[in-house]
Chain A
Protein backbone atom coordinates (compact mmCIF):
# COMPACT_ATOMS: atom_id res chain seq x y z
CA UNK A 1 0.00 0.00 0.00
CA UNK A 2 2.84 2.36 0.72
CA UNK A 3 3.80 2.30 -2.93
CA UNK A 4 1.00 4.68 -3.79
CA UNK A 5 1.36 6.87 -0.73
CA UNK A 6 1.60 10.54 -1.62
CA UNK A 7 3.56 11.18 1.53
CA UNK A 8 5.56 8.56 3.31
CA UNK A 9 7.31 9.08 6.62
CA UNK A 10 9.63 6.40 7.88
CA UNK A 11 11.14 6.17 11.35
CA UNK A 12 11.43 9.90 11.96
CA UNK A 13 13.56 10.99 14.90
CA UNK A 14 14.21 14.47 16.20
CA UNK A 15 15.79 15.67 19.39
CA UNK A 16 16.48 19.13 20.73
CA UNK A 17 19.64 18.90 22.80
CA UNK A 18 19.02 15.79 24.84
CA UNK A 19 15.26 16.02 24.73
CA UNK A 20 13.84 13.58 22.21
CA UNK A 21 10.72 15.01 20.58
CA UNK A 22 10.09 12.41 17.87
CA UNK A 23 11.01 8.83 18.67
CA UNK A 24 10.46 7.01 15.43
CA UNK A 25 7.35 8.15 13.60
CA UNK A 26 6.18 6.26 10.54
CA UNK A 27 3.14 7.41 8.64
CA UNK A 28 1.74 7.04 5.14
CA UNK A 29 -0.69 9.52 3.69
CA UNK A 30 -2.57 8.56 0.55
CA UNK A 31 -3.59 10.98 -2.15
CA UNK A 32 -6.78 12.90 -1.25
CA UNK A 33 -6.65 11.60 2.27
CA UNK A 34 -7.41 13.90 5.19
CA UNK A 35 -5.47 12.95 8.28
CA UNK A 36 -5.98 14.68 11.61
CA UNK A 37 -3.19 14.42 14.17
CA UNK A 38 -4.12 14.81 17.80
CA UNK A 39 -2.26 14.45 21.05
CA UNK A 40 -1.27 16.34 24.17
CA UNK A 41 0.85 19.44 23.68
CA UNK A 42 4.58 18.88 23.48
CA UNK A 43 4.26 15.45 21.89
CA UNK A 44 5.91 16.45 18.66
CA UNK A 45 2.91 16.98 16.37
CA UNK A 46 4.10 20.36 15.13
CA UNK A 47 7.69 19.18 14.95
CA UNK A 48 6.57 16.37 12.69
CA UNK A 49 4.77 18.80 10.35
CA UNK A 50 7.80 21.06 10.28
CA UNK A 51 9.99 18.10 9.37
CA UNK A 52 7.76 17.36 6.39
CA UNK A 53 8.59 20.65 4.69
CA UNK A 54 12.08 20.69 6.15
CA UNK A 55 11.59 23.79 8.25
CA UNK A 56 13.08 21.46 10.82
CA UNK A 57 15.70 18.92 9.82
CA UNK A 58 15.02 15.45 11.23
CA UNK A 59 17.97 13.72 12.90
CA UNK A 60 17.12 10.36 11.47
CA UNK A 61 14.52 8.79 9.22
CA UNK A 62 13.24 9.38 5.72
CA UNK A 63 10.38 11.27 4.12
CA UNK A 64 9.14 10.75 0.58
CA UNK A 65 6.82 13.12 -1.21
CA UNK A 66 5.56 11.33 -4.28
CA UNK A 67 8.63 9.91 -5.97
CA UNK A 68 11.19 12.16 -4.26
CA UNK A 69 12.97 11.46 -1.04
CA UNK A 70 13.01 14.92 0.43
CA UNK A 71 15.30 14.00 3.30
CA UNK A 72 18.03 12.92 0.88
CA UNK A 73 21.07 15.18 0.76
CA UNK A 74 21.22 17.79 -2.02
CA UNK A 75 17.53 17.95 -2.79
CA UNK A 76 16.35 21.43 -3.72
CA UNK A 77 14.46 22.39 -0.58
CA UNK A 78 12.78 25.38 -2.22
CA UNK A 79 11.38 23.20 -5.00
CA UNK A 80 10.04 20.68 -2.49
CA UNK A 81 8.39 23.36 -0.41
CA UNK A 82 6.50 24.68 -3.42
CA UNK A 83 4.62 21.41 -3.46
CA UNK A 84 3.77 21.57 0.21
CA UNK A 85 1.34 24.21 1.46
CA UNK A 86 1.75 25.20 5.08
CA UNK A 87 -0.75 26.99 7.31
CA UNK A 88 0.46 28.23 10.68
CA UNK A 89 -1.20 28.66 14.02
CA UNK A 90 -0.47 32.39 14.09
CA UNK A 91 -1.13 32.96 10.37
CA UNK A 92 2.23 34.62 9.59
CA UNK A 93 0.75 36.80 6.89
CA UNK A 94 3.25 39.23 5.43
CA UNK A 95 2.47 42.43 7.31
CA UNK A 96 3.55 44.85 4.60
CA UNK A 97 1.41 43.29 1.87
CA UNK A 98 -2.33 43.37 1.20
CA UNK A 99 -4.37 40.19 1.29
CA UNK A 100 -4.08 39.87 -2.48
CA UNK A 101 -0.34 40.59 -2.49
CA UNK A 102 0.13 37.99 0.23
CA UNK A 103 -1.41 35.46 -2.12
CA UNK A 104 0.38 36.62 -5.26
CA UNK A 105 3.92 37.18 -4.00
CA UNK A 106 4.80 33.50 -4.10
CA UNK A 107 3.28 33.14 -7.55
CA UNK A 108 5.23 36.11 -8.84
CA UNK A 109 8.59 35.56 -7.15
CA UNK A 110 8.73 31.78 -6.92
CA UNK A 111 6.55 30.49 -9.74
CA UNK A 112 7.54 33.48 -11.93
CA UNK A 113 4.03 34.18 -13.10
CA UNK A 114 3.37 37.45 -14.89
CA UNK A 115 1.70 40.19 -12.85
CA UNK A 116 -1.56 39.70 -14.73
CA UNK A 117 -1.60 35.94 -14.31
CA UNK A 118 -0.74 36.21 -10.61
CA UNK A 119 -3.47 38.79 -10.10
CA UNK A 120 -6.08 36.60 -11.74
CA UNK A 121 -5.07 33.48 -9.88
CA UNK A 122 -4.76 35.45 -6.65
CA UNK A 123 -8.31 36.73 -6.96
CA UNK A 124 -9.49 33.21 -7.73
CA UNK A 125 -7.78 31.85 -4.62
CA UNK A 126 -9.33 34.63 -2.51
CA UNK A 127 -12.67 33.72 -4.04
CA UNK A 128 -12.16 30.14 -2.87
CA UNK A 129 -11.81 31.32 0.72
CA UNK A 130 -14.58 33.90 0.35
CA UNK A 131 -12.44 37.02 0.72
CA UNK A 132 -12.48 38.77 -2.64
CA UNK A 133 -13.92 41.86 -0.98
CA UNK A 134 -10.93 42.02 1.35
CA UNK A 135 -8.30 41.83 -1.40
CA UNK A 136 -6.92 45.31 -0.71
CA UNK A 137 -6.92 45.06 3.08
CA UNK A 138 -3.72 44.75 5.04
CA UNK A 139 -3.41 41.93 7.60
CA UNK A 140 -3.89 44.40 10.45
CA UNK A 141 -7.30 45.26 9.02
CA UNK A 142 -8.50 41.66 8.97
CA UNK A 143 -10.02 39.52 11.70
CA UNK A 144 -8.17 36.40 12.84
CA UNK A 145 -10.45 34.14 10.84
CA UNK A 146 -9.98 36.25 7.73
CA UNK A 147 -6.21 36.25 8.21
CA UNK A 148 -6.17 32.48 8.41
CA UNK A 149 -8.31 32.21 5.29
CA UNK A 150 -5.89 34.50 3.43
CA UNK A 151 -3.04 32.30 4.69
CA UNK A 152 -4.83 29.27 3.26
CA UNK A 153 -5.32 31.07 -0.05
CA UNK A 154 -1.64 32.00 -0.05
CA UNK A 155 -0.65 28.36 0.35
CA UNK A 156 -3.17 27.20 -2.28
CA UNK A 157 -1.80 29.70 -4.76
CA UNK A 158 1.31 27.60 -5.15
CA UNK A 159 -0.76 24.59 -6.30
CA UNK A 160 0.50 22.37 -3.50
CA UNK A 161 0.19 18.61 -3.71
CA UNK A 162 -0.39 18.39 0.02
CA UNK A 163 -1.46 20.91 2.65
CA UNK A 164 -0.13 20.94 6.20
CA UNK A 165 -2.16 22.70 8.88
CA UNK A 166 -0.42 23.40 12.17
CA UNK A 167 -3.18 24.07 14.70
CA UNK A 168 -4.92 26.43 12.28
CA UNK A 169 -7.69 27.46 14.66
CA UNK A 170 -5.88 27.51 18.00
CA UNK A 171 -5.19 31.24 17.93
CA UNK A 172 -8.74 32.16 16.95
CA UNK A 173 -11.64 33.43 18.99
CA UNK A 174 -14.29 30.71 19.21
CA UNK A 175 -16.73 32.50 16.94
CA UNK A 176 -14.14 32.73 14.15
CA UNK A 177 -13.16 29.07 14.12
CA UNK A 178 -16.14 28.00 12.05
CA UNK A 179 -15.28 30.04 8.96
CA UNK A 180 -11.79 28.54 8.82
CA UNK A 181 -13.05 25.00 9.31
CA UNK A 182 -15.64 25.53 6.57
CA UNK A 183 -12.89 26.49 4.14
CA UNK A 184 -10.84 23.46 5.18
CA UNK A 185 -13.82 21.17 4.78
CA UNK A 186 -14.42 22.52 1.29
CA UNK A 187 -10.79 21.85 0.43
CA UNK A 188 -11.10 18.30 1.69
CA UNK A 189 -14.20 17.79 -0.46
CA UNK A 190 -12.31 19.09 -3.48
CA UNK A 191 -9.84 16.28 -2.93
CA UNK A 192 -6.89 18.07 -1.36
CA UNK A 193 -4.53 15.84 0.56
CA UNK A 194 -4.39 17.29 4.05
CA UNK A 195 -2.43 16.68 7.19
CA UNK A 196 -3.99 18.60 10.05
CA UNK A 197 -2.74 19.05 13.59
CA UNK A 198 -5.85 20.13 15.44
CA UNK A 199 -8.06 19.48 18.39
CA UNK A 200 -11.23 20.35 16.53
CA UNK A 201 -12.98 17.05 17.12
CA UNK A 202 -16.03 18.00 15.08
CA UNK A 203 -13.77 18.47 12.06
CA UNK A 204 -11.83 15.29 12.84
CA UNK A 205 -15.00 13.22 13.06
CA UNK A 206 -16.84 14.60 10.10
CA UNK A 207 -14.12 15.47 7.62
CA UNK A 208 -11.10 13.32 8.30
CA UNK A 209 -10.49 9.87 6.92
CA UNK A 210 -8.13 8.98 9.68
CA UNK A 211 -7.19 10.20 13.13
CA UNK A 212 -3.66 9.72 14.37
CA UNK A 213 -3.14 9.88 18.11
CA UNK A 214 0.40 10.86 19.10
CA UNK A 215 1.87 10.97 22.56
CA UNK A 216 5.44 11.34 23.80
CA UNK A 217 6.94 11.29 20.34
CA UNK A 218 5.30 8.12 19.07
CA UNK A 219 2.07 7.26 17.30
CA UNK A 220 -0.03 5.49 19.89
CA UNK A 221 -2.90 4.55 17.67
CA UNK A 222 -4.50 5.50 14.36
CA UNK A 223 -7.61 4.66 12.42
CA UNK A 224 -10.88 5.98 11.01
CA UNK A 225 -12.64 8.42 13.37
CA UNK A 226 -15.43 5.98 14.24
CA UNK A 227 -12.96 3.30 15.24
CA UNK A 228 -10.90 5.63 17.37
CA UNK A 229 -13.90 7.09 19.13
CA UNK A 230 -15.79 3.85 19.76
CA UNK A 231 -13.37 0.92 19.56
CA UNK A 232 -9.95 2.26 20.46
CA UNK A 233 -7.31 -0.34 21.21
CA UNK A 234 -5.99 1.65 24.11
CA UNK A 235 -7.85 3.12 27.00
CA UNK A 236 -5.52 6.13 26.81
CA UNK A 237 -6.80 6.96 23.32
CA UNK A 238 -10.42 6.89 24.42
CA UNK A 239 -9.66 8.99 27.47
CA UNK A 240 -7.86 11.65 25.45
CA UNK A 241 -10.40 11.78 22.63
CA UNK A 242 -13.35 12.25 24.93
CA UNK A 243 -11.60 14.78 27.10
CA UNK A 244 -10.73 16.84 24.04
CA UNK A 245 -14.25 16.46 22.65
CA UNK A 246 -15.67 17.80 25.87
CA UNK A 247 -13.34 20.75 25.82
CA UNK A 248 -13.66 21.71 22.17
CA UNK A 249 -16.84 20.30 20.67
CA UNK A 250 -19.79 20.93 22.95
CA UNK A 251 -22.33 18.88 21.06
CA UNK A 252 -20.20 15.76 20.68
CA UNK A 253 -21.29 14.05 23.86
CA UNK A 254 -24.98 13.83 23.14
CA UNK A 255 -24.41 12.36 19.74
CA UNK A 256 -22.28 9.54 21.16
CA UNK A 257 -23.53 5.93 21.15
Chain B
Protein backbone atom coordinates (compact mmCIF):
# COMPACT_ATOMS: atom_id res chain seq x y z
CA UNK B 1 0.00 0.00 0.00
CA UNK B 2 2.79 2.33 0.97
CA UNK B 3 4.66 1.27 -2.13
CA UNK B 4 1.69 2.18 -4.21
CA UNK B 5 1.45 5.61 -2.61
CA UNK B 6 5.14 6.13 -3.27
CA UNK B 7 4.71 4.95 -6.84
CA UNK B 8 1.89 7.40 -7.42
CA UNK B 9 3.74 10.34 -5.96
CA UNK B 10 6.89 9.42 -7.87
CA UNK B 11 5.06 9.18 -11.19
CA UNK B 12 3.12 12.34 -10.48
CA UNK B 13 6.41 14.24 -10.34
CA UNK B 14 6.60 13.43 -14.04
CA UNK B 15 3.11 14.69 -14.55
CA UNK B 16 4.33 18.29 -14.70
CA UNK B 17 6.62 17.37 -17.59
CA UNK B 18 3.85 15.54 -19.39
CA UNK B 19 1.42 18.40 -19.00
CA UNK B 20 4.06 21.03 -19.75
CA UNK B 21 5.17 19.33 -22.95
CA UNK B 22 1.57 18.82 -24.03
CA UNK B 23 0.50 22.40 -23.41
CA UNK B 24 3.55 23.87 -25.13
CA UNK B 25 3.21 21.54 -28.12
CA UNK B 26 -0.53 22.10 -28.48
CA UNK B 27 -0.35 25.90 -28.17
CA UNK B 28 2.59 26.05 -30.53
CA UNK B 29 0.74 23.85 -33.01
CA UNK B 30 -2.45 25.86 -32.56
CA UNK B 31 -0.89 29.20 -33.45
CA UNK B 32 1.29 27.92 -36.28
CA UNK B 33 -1.38 25.49 -37.46
CA UNK B 34 -3.94 28.27 -37.86
CA UNK B 35 -1.32 30.41 -39.56
CA UNK B 36 -0.47 27.67 -42.02
CA UNK B 37 -4.13 26.89 -42.63
CA UNK B 38 -4.73 30.57 -43.45
CA UNK B 39 -1.77 30.57 -45.82
CA UNK B 40 -3.14 27.51 -47.56
CA UNK B 41 -6.61 28.93 -48.00
CA UNK B 42 -5.93 32.64 -48.47
CA UNK B 43 -2.22 32.87 -49.17
CA UNK B 44 -0.59 33.35 -52.53
CA UNK B 45 0.55 30.39 -54.58
CA UNK B 46 4.04 30.28 -53.09
CA UNK B 47 2.99 30.54 -49.45
CA UNK B 48 0.23 28.04 -49.91
CA UNK B 49 2.52 25.54 -51.63
CA UNK B 50 5.19 25.87 -48.94
CA UNK B 51 2.63 25.30 -46.20
CA UNK B 52 1.29 22.27 -48.05
CA UNK B 53 4.77 20.81 -48.43
CA UNK B 54 5.52 21.33 -44.75
CA UNK B 55 2.35 19.54 -43.78
CA UNK B 56 2.93 16.64 -46.15
CA UNK B 57 6.56 16.10 -45.12
CA UNK B 58 6.02 16.34 -41.38
CA UNK B 59 3.02 14.06 -41.44
CA UNK B 60 5.04 11.48 -43.31
CA UNK B 61 7.63 11.22 -40.51
CA UNK B 62 7.34 9.34 -37.24
CA UNK B 63 7.09 11.87 -34.43
CA UNK B 64 10.09 10.32 -32.69
CA UNK B 65 12.16 11.15 -35.73
CA UNK B 66 11.12 14.79 -35.55
CA UNK B 67 12.16 14.79 -31.90
CA UNK B 68 15.57 13.32 -32.77
CA UNK B 69 16.14 15.76 -35.61
CA UNK B 70 15.31 18.75 -33.46
CA UNK B 71 17.26 17.54 -30.43
CA UNK B 72 20.38 16.23 -32.11
CA UNK B 73 20.32 18.56 -35.07
CA UNK B 74 19.01 21.95 -34.10
CA UNK B 75 19.93 22.02 -30.43
CA UNK B 76 23.57 21.95 -31.44
CA UNK B 77 23.15 25.36 -32.96
CA UNK B 78 20.61 26.79 -30.54
CA UNK B 79 20.97 25.88 -26.91
CA UNK B 80 17.76 24.07 -26.08
CA UNK B 81 17.08 21.89 -23.08
CA UNK B 82 15.83 18.37 -23.80
CA UNK B 83 12.49 19.42 -22.33
CA UNK B 84 12.08 22.32 -24.74
CA UNK B 85 13.47 20.41 -27.72
CA UNK B 86 10.93 17.70 -27.10
CA UNK B 87 8.07 20.14 -26.60
CA UNK B 88 8.92 22.10 -29.73
CA UNK B 89 9.40 18.95 -31.79
CA UNK B 90 5.95 17.79 -30.81
CA UNK B 91 4.74 21.31 -31.55
CA UNK B 92 6.20 21.23 -35.07
CA UNK B 93 4.57 17.88 -35.68
CA UNK B 94 1.26 19.04 -34.26
CA UNK B 95 1.41 22.15 -36.43
CA UNK B 96 1.13 19.94 -39.50
CA UNK B 97 -1.86 18.03 -38.18
CA UNK B 98 -3.58 21.13 -36.82
CA UNK B 99 -3.06 22.98 -40.09
CA UNK B 100 -5.05 20.23 -41.81
CA UNK B 101 -7.77 20.41 -39.17
CA UNK B 102 -8.12 24.19 -39.45
CA UNK B 103 -7.86 24.21 -43.21
CA UNK B 104 -10.83 21.87 -43.44
CA UNK B 105 -12.74 23.93 -40.88
CA UNK B 106 -12.07 27.23 -42.70
CA UNK B 107 -13.20 25.71 -45.98
CA UNK B 108 -16.42 24.51 -44.41
CA UNK B 109 -17.47 28.02 -43.37
CA UNK B 110 -20.06 28.99 -46.00
CA UNK B 111 -18.68 31.32 -48.68
CA UNK B 112 -21.46 33.83 -48.13
CA UNK B 113 -19.95 34.68 -44.73
CA UNK B 114 -16.85 36.19 -46.29
CA UNK B 115 -18.88 37.97 -48.96
CA UNK B 116 -21.23 39.49 -46.37
CA UNK B 117 -18.29 40.60 -44.23
CA UNK B 118 -16.56 42.26 -47.18
CA UNK B 119 -19.84 43.89 -48.22
CA UNK B 120 -20.00 45.51 -44.77
CA UNK B 121 -16.69 47.17 -45.48
CA UNK B 122 -14.44 44.81 -43.52
CA UNK B 123 -10.99 44.27 -44.96
CA UNK B 124 -10.01 40.74 -45.88
CA UNK B 125 -8.03 40.36 -42.69
CA UNK B 126 -10.85 41.70 -40.50
CA UNK B 127 -13.30 39.34 -42.19
CA UNK B 128 -11.00 36.43 -41.42
CA UNK B 129 -10.35 37.59 -37.88
CA UNK B 130 -13.90 38.40 -36.81
CA UNK B 131 -16.10 36.27 -39.04
CA UNK B 132 -14.31 33.27 -40.52
CA UNK B 133 -11.92 32.18 -37.75
CA UNK B 134 -14.42 32.28 -34.87
CA UNK B 135 -16.64 29.94 -36.84
CA UNK B 136 -13.80 27.75 -38.13
CA UNK B 137 -12.42 27.24 -34.61
CA UNK B 138 -15.83 26.12 -33.37
CA UNK B 139 -16.16 23.73 -36.28
CA UNK B 140 -12.66 22.39 -35.55
CA UNK B 141 -13.23 21.50 -31.89
CA UNK B 142 -14.11 17.79 -32.33
CA UNK B 143 -11.10 17.09 -34.56
CA UNK B 144 -8.90 19.25 -32.35
CA UNK B 145 -9.98 17.31 -29.29
CA UNK B 146 -8.72 14.17 -30.98
CA UNK B 147 -5.40 15.86 -31.78
CA UNK B 148 -5.08 17.01 -28.17
CA UNK B 149 -5.41 13.40 -26.97
CA UNK B 150 -2.78 12.27 -29.48
CA UNK B 151 -0.29 14.96 -28.44
CA UNK B 152 -0.90 14.20 -24.78
CA UNK B 153 0.00 10.58 -25.36
CA UNK B 154 2.86 11.41 -27.73
CA UNK B 155 4.38 13.57 -25.02
CA UNK B 156 5.65 10.29 -23.56
CA UNK B 157 8.00 10.11 -26.57
CA UNK B 158 10.26 12.81 -25.16
CA UNK B 159 11.65 10.10 -22.91
CA UNK B 160 13.84 9.08 -25.87
CA UNK B 161 15.94 12.18 -25.29
CA UNK B 162 16.03 11.61 -21.57
CA UNK B 163 13.28 13.87 -20.28
CA UNK B 164 11.96 12.30 -17.08
CA UNK B 165 8.26 12.37 -17.86
CA UNK B 166 5.81 9.82 -16.48
CA UNK B 167 6.62 6.90 -18.73
CA UNK B 168 10.33 7.27 -18.07
CA UNK B 169 9.67 7.26 -14.36
CA UNK B 170 7.43 4.22 -14.62
CA UNK B 171 10.31 2.47 -16.33
CA UNK B 172 12.69 3.36 -13.47
CA UNK B 173 10.25 2.01 -10.94
CA UNK B 174 9.65 -1.11 -12.96
CA UNK B 175 13.37 -1.77 -13.19
CA UNK B 176 13.84 -1.26 -9.49
CA UNK B 177 10.85 -3.12 -8.09
CA UNK B 178 10.65 -5.71 -10.86
CA UNK B 179 6.93 -5.19 -10.90
CA UNK B 180 6.34 -3.78 -14.38
CA UNK B 181 2.64 -4.46 -14.33
CA UNK B 182 1.99 -2.22 -11.34
CA UNK B 183 4.37 0.50 -12.47
CA UNK B 184 3.04 0.70 -16.03
CA UNK B 185 -0.50 0.07 -14.88
CA UNK B 186 -0.43 3.12 -12.66
CA UNK B 187 1.10 5.17 -15.50
CA UNK B 188 -1.67 3.93 -17.77
CA UNK B 189 -4.28 4.96 -15.22
CA UNK B 190 -2.85 8.47 -14.95
CA UNK B 191 -2.73 8.85 -18.75
CA UNK B 192 -6.29 7.66 -18.98
CA UNK B 193 -7.50 10.18 -16.42
CA UNK B 194 -5.65 12.99 -18.20
CA UNK B 195 -6.95 12.12 -21.65
CA UNK B 196 -10.44 11.50 -20.39
CA UNK B 197 -10.72 14.84 -18.57
CA UNK B 198 -9.19 16.73 -21.48
CA UNK B 199 -11.69 15.27 -23.91
CA UNK B 200 -14.54 15.87 -21.51
CA UNK B 201 -13.54 19.49 -21.20
CA UNK B 202 -13.36 19.88 -24.96
CA UNK B 203 -16.71 18.13 -25.36
CA UNK B 204 -18.14 20.74 -23.07
CA UNK B 205 -16.62 23.54 -25.17
CA UNK B 206 -17.95 21.91 -28.31
CA UNK B 207 -21.49 21.84 -26.94
CA UNK B 208 -21.21 25.30 -25.45
CA UNK B 209 -20.04 26.91 -28.69
CA UNK B 210 -21.79 24.71 -31.18
CA UNK B 211 -22.70 26.59 -34.35
CA UNK B 212 -26.18 26.09 -35.55
CA UNK B 213 -26.71 26.63 -39.22
A residues engaging B (CB < 8 A)?
Answer: 53, 55, 78-79, 81-82, 84, 86, 88, 90, 92-96, 105-106, 109-110, 138-141, 151, 154-155, 158
CB–CB B212/A109 < 8 A:
no
Contact partner, A55, options B115, B122, B131, Cβ 8 Å:
B115
Q: Quick one: which of B113, B121, B134 has the most chain A CB within 10 A?
A: B121
What's the nearest-Cβ distance from chain B to residue A227, in Å?
Answer: 33
B77 at the interface (CB under 8 A from A): no
B119 at the interface (CB under 8 A from A): yes
Q: Which residue of A lies closest to B121 (CB)?
A: A82
Indicate whether A81 sits within 8 Å of B211 (C-beta atoms), given known contacts A88-B112, A96-B134.
no
Contact partner, B122, options A78, A96, A139, Cβ 8 Å:
A78
A-B pairs under 8 A by CB, number: 70
CB–CB A88/B116 < 8 A:
yes
CB–CB A95/B120 < 8 A:
no
CB–CB A94/B211 < 8 A:
no
Q: Which residue of A lies closest to B122 (CB)?
A: A110
Q: Quick one: which of B112, B134, B135 has the most chain A CB within 10 A?
A: B112
Contact partner, B211, options A79, A92, A95, Cβ 8 Å:
A95
Q: Which residues of A contact B153 (CB under 8 A)?
A: none
CA distance A142 to B95 in the complex (A): 38
What's the nearest-Cβ distance from chain B to residue A77, in Å?
Answer: 8
Q: Which residue of A lies closest to B109 (CB)?
A: A95
CA distance A127 to B120 in the complex (A): 20
CB–CB B121/A94 < 8 A:
no
B200 at the interface (CB under 8 A from A): no
Interface size class on chain B is 20 to 34
What's the nearest-Cβ distance from chain A to residue B200, in Å?
Answer: 23
CB–CB A140/B116 < 8 A:
no
Q: Which residues of B contact A93 (CB under 8 A)?
A: 116
Taking chain B's interface residues, is the majority helix, strand, or loop, or is none over half, making it mixed?
Answer: helix
Contact partner, B212, options A90, A92, A138, Cβ 8 Å:
A138
Q: Which residues of A contact B116 (CB under 8 A)?
A: 86, 88, 92-94, 151
7 additional A-B pairs beyond A79-B121, A96-B209, A158-B121, beta carbons within 8 Å, are: A81-B119, A81-B120, A88-B116, A94-B113, A94-B135, A95-B110, A106-B121
CB–CB A81/B118 < 8 A:
yes
Indicate whether A94 sits within 8 Å of B212 (C-beta atoms), given known contacts A81-B121, A88-B116, A106-B122.
no
Produce 1/0 per residue, B198-213, CB < 8 A to A.
0000000000010111
Contact partner, B138, options A53, A78, A96, Cβ 8 Å:
A96
Q: Which residues of B contact A86 (CB under 8 A)?
A: 116, 119
Contact partner, B119, options A53, A79, A138, Cβ 8 Å:
A53
CB–CB B213/A78 < 8 A:
no
CB–CB B135/A90 < 8 A:
no
CA distance A151 to B115 in the complex (A): 13
What's the nearest-Cβ distance from chain A to residue B11, in Å?
Answer: 41
CA distance A125 to B135 in the complex (A): 25
B59 at the interface (CB under 8 A from A): no
B194 at the interface (CB under 8 A from A): no
Q: Which residues of A contact B138 (CB under 8 A)?
A: 96
What's the nearest-Cβ distance from chain B to residue A63, in Å?
Answer: 15
CB–CB A96/B112 < 8 A:
no
Indicate whether A109 sits within 8 Å of B135 (C-beta atoms), given known contacts A78-B121, A95-B212.
no
Q: Which residues of B contact A88 (CB under 8 A)?
A: 112, 115-116, 119
Q: Which residues of B contact A94 (CB under 8 A)?
A: 113, 116-117, 131, 135
Indicate whether A110 sits within 8 Å of B119 (C-beta atoms), given known contacts A95-B135, A96-B135, A96-B138.
no
Q: Which residue of A lies closest to B131 (CB)?
A: A94
Q: Which residue of A lies closest to B112 (CB)?
A: A92
Q: Which residue of A lies closest to B137 (CB)?
A: A96
What's the nearest-Cβ distance from chain A to residue B45, in Å?
Answer: 20
Contacts of B44-72 to chain A: CB distance below 8 A: none
Contacts of B95-141 to chain A: CB distance below 8 A: 110, 112-113, 115-123, 126, 130-131, 134-135, 138
CA distance A138 to B119 in the complex (A): 21
CB–CB B122/A92 < 8 A:
no
